[in-house]
Each structure stands twice: as structure tokens, then as C-alpha cells.
Amino acid sequence: MSIDAHGHSADEHGGADCSATLLRLYEYLDGEMTTTDTARIKAHLDECGPCMQQHDRETALKALIRRACACEPAPTELRMRIVQRITTIRIETTD
């Protein structure tokens, strides 16, 4: 019988313990788990503050990564302005 961070056995609430939850957090966030496993992790997160905090951190991190990867190319107008600025600087410095 495994003992979790709160000092009671994981089997007590019939859910996953902390290490099992954190170990499978990415699977949970990616929705790669079975409905049963997802419910078990969710039940643990609902009653375990530290695991919920870790869950929130990973969720924020994933959102950040997703936003960084989905970066749109600079609008044409902005790109042209940058090119013009570079050209202007080059003309000024070669003089």
C-alpha cells in the first residue's frame, strides 16, 4: 500500500496518489487517458491542493507554448515599414 504526501494511503479515496497523478499529468492534459483514468486524476486534483497547483502551472505553460508556436507572420504593412527603415539606415550609413 502506498502512502501519499498527505500521510494517508492512496487506496483510501479509491483515487490516484500524488506521484501517480503528477506522473500522468501530461497524459491528462493532452486528453490521452481513458475516461476512467481521467476521472480518477480529476478526483485527486479536486481534493489535493499541491497537485492542483502543479496542474495549473502545466496548463499555463502549455498555453504559453501553444501561443508561441502559433505566432503569425508580421503583417505586410509592418514588414514593409521595417524593410524601409533598414534601407533608410543603410543609405544613411553608406554615405
Q: Are 24 and 41 in contact (CB under 8 A)?
A: yes
Q: Is 45 in the site for Zn ion (CB under 5 A)?
A: no
- Only one residue has cell 500524488, namely 18
The answer to whether 41 contacts Zn ion (rule: CB under 5 A) is no
Q: Taking CB under 5 A as the rule, does residue 48 contact Zn ion?
A: yes
Q: Give CA–CA dist 13/47, Å, rounded.
A: 10
Q: Is 51 in the site for Zn ion (CB under 5 A)?
A: yes
Q: In the structure grid, which three cell numbers stand for residue 86, read together?
A: 533598414
Instruction: Report the site for Zn ion in 6-25 (rule: CB under 5 A).
Output: 18
Binding site for Zn ion (CB under 5 A): 18, 48, 51
